Structure 1
């Protein structure tokens, strides 16, 4: 049965409104995924949306009535408001995701709600550590075996994280092809893991909790970054976690 939903968050970040606006509209894949915006009110936005508000660097609203490729959702709106704080070098942001889910409402809402926190955390990490740097972005899913209830715990173990490795810990994570990553665990709960290195944000998604495969996104800011190379390496790593 269809039912409306709303997910709202407010936060502050050490970035100017112009930097926040650039991050959410440039579509480079620096914090989320590559997206295209037609820069005007009434212009085209991601996933077939229409930009009902385009007021840089203050407000952006995108609305789509039939979400492409997502049968569980027939209305989707993202509304983002940005205001300066203090002397203009810090910003406050309100993010509201609303719409209608038509199938499996509780599961869809829970997944969207928890993903929102992780995505917006990644936005703040990007603005704090990598804003404006060129990025190579890749994202992919694990094999079918990664949908089991304990799949995401296996990902944490494969990275070399113990059950009590908490946010803020500096770790030597076990990456592809025996590579050891000097990283900070910038986010961790039973559903997501975020690693930040000097040149990358690597995000692990425990979507098995919502009946989908585990996923990885790599935001690589190194000068020699190669999105396809990252995808091949990390996809092989992820497949190997579930090959036994």
Structure 2
């Protein structure tokens, strides 16, 4: 079975199933409808027998965001190449505390609503002005003139992953230095515990 067929089917997964943990597989099916756009069908398989509900919920929230990113890209940036900047951290605090710290670090008094115009003032970085296009419990998304900015805090009371994703569609982006700057910003907000350093 070919993983890619005429731009209509794409699949991927682990070449060799892991010794422990789930082995996920992902399938994307693209159907062009005459005069009415395109339908994308997505299937993810390989969830574990034990605890699959939590795994499913976590993936569901993440895929909702990434499909929203695709929709926004097609509506506002179609055909423009992207530079991706990603910064990540894991924090022992609960997700609620991490979200509050993210908001403070972005210069926001509270979680904005979809449609709000905001300016993010992150220490050590240029201000970002744009429109909120994602505002869920886990994620905040801002669409600026030339970029999508996504911030997340996913997890529970025992700790959570914190992320800052940026999809930049303007020319002349220095990916390496911008990635380092956003990672430094995130590390400043969530310094690693002393025993982990």
What is the match of residue 22 of structure 2? 73
> Are the equivalent residues in 2 in contact too, given 1:199–1:220 (CA < 8 A)?
yes
Q: Which residue of 2 aligns with 1:189?
A: 136
Q: Quick one: distance in 2 between partners of 1:94 and 1:114?
A: 17
Counterpart of 1:235 (choices 155, 160, 183) is 183
Deviation readout 1:100-146 (Å, 9 max, x if unpaired): 22664333222111111011111111222222222221222125456
Aligned to 1:200: 147
Size of the aligned set, in residue pairs, is 191
Output the CA distance in 2 between the equivalents of 1:67 and 1:157.
Answer: 41
TM-score relative to the length of structure 1: 0.67
SS of residue in 2 equivalent to 1:163: coil
Q: Where does the alignment leave 5 or more consecutive residues of structure 2 unmatched?
A: 192-197
State the distance in 1 between where 2:111 and 2:152 align.
18
Measure, in 2, the Cα distance between the counterparts of 1:214 and 1:227.
20
* Contact 2:91–2:159 (CA under 8 A) maintained in structure 1: no
Task: Give the whole-Å Cα distance in 2 for the aligned partners of 1:130 and 1:150.
Answer: 34
State how 1:82-231 maps to structure 2 within 5 Å: 82-87=30-35, 90-101=37-48, 104-142=51-89, 144=91, 149-163=96-110, 165-177=112-124, 179-209=126-156, 211-231=159-179
The answer to whether the 8 A contact 1:140-1:215 is kept is yes
Give the root-mean-square deviation of aligned CA atoms: 2.7
The answer (yes or no) to whether the contact 2:87–2:164 under 8 Å persists in 1 is yes
Measured in 2, the distance between the counterparts of 1:175 and 1:94 equals 37
TM-score (norm 2): 0.81
Q: 1:62: Cα distance to partner?
A: 2.7
Residue pair 2:119, 2:128 contacting (<8 A) in 1 also: yes
Q: 1:176 to 1:234 in 2, by over 3 A?
A: farther
CA shift, 1:161, in A, is: 2.9
Runs of 4+ in 1 over 6 A off after TM superposition: none
How far residue 218 of structure 1 moved from its aligned partner, in angstroms, is 1.7
